Amino acid sequence: IHTGLIRAATTEAELAGVMAHEIAHVTQRHIARRIDNTKGWDLASAALLLAAIAAGGADPALVQAALGLGMGISYQQQVNYTRAHELEADRLGIQMLSAAGYAPEGMAGFFKRIAAQSRLYGEGIPEILRTHPVSTTRLAEARSREQDLPDGAAERSLIFGLMQARAELAAYDLSSEKLARFPSSWEGDPLVGQYGRANA
């Protein structure tokens, strides 16, 4: 959990949704499973390279092509495996989120905001090559799962507001910048505004 994440969330349920997703990665041993999965592909890539060297002999273009193919296959397998892990972490995370008493729509709400922000930065890497794409499929699946779960706390709590104020203040060095974030005409929760201004 870092200050950027706290500042980016609009509700405690969104922050809890990200945490639940990451906890699911740990409980499902995704890192260990990915390492086990890539061992076989490293051997397959090495075998493909050796076969190309043996067959190609003096043709360096054939060796180069085999090396590129082996690396490409290995990378695509890693991307596919990571995507499966992301979907599994989404599915289990939303269940954890609900079981903890938070609104399950917190996860999809955060996904939606990430997707909107990524559009502002441009497309960058094509979605097919991204390991953590926030696709319409991922959003739709999160929305579908939340329908089957009981409602939970979705409102913005005072404690969360105070945490966000602290995180916001930590992002700026100058007192004038900090005061500008919490003006006397603060429109949010008055206690959060007073807390932020006092700390600034």
Please report which helix (H) or strand (E) contains residue 181, including its range. helix 175-181
* Token pair 């399950």 in the structure block, residue: 104
Selected catalytic residue, list 12, 90, 105, 168: 90
Active site residue 22: yes
Which of 130, 110, 122 has the alpha carbon at shortest distance from 20?
110
CA distance 130 to 63: 27
Buried b (16+ CB within 10 A) or exposed e, 25-44: beeeebeeeeeeebeebeee
Active site residue 90: yes
* Token pair 């085999």 in the structure block, residue: 66
Residues belonging to the active site = 22, 90
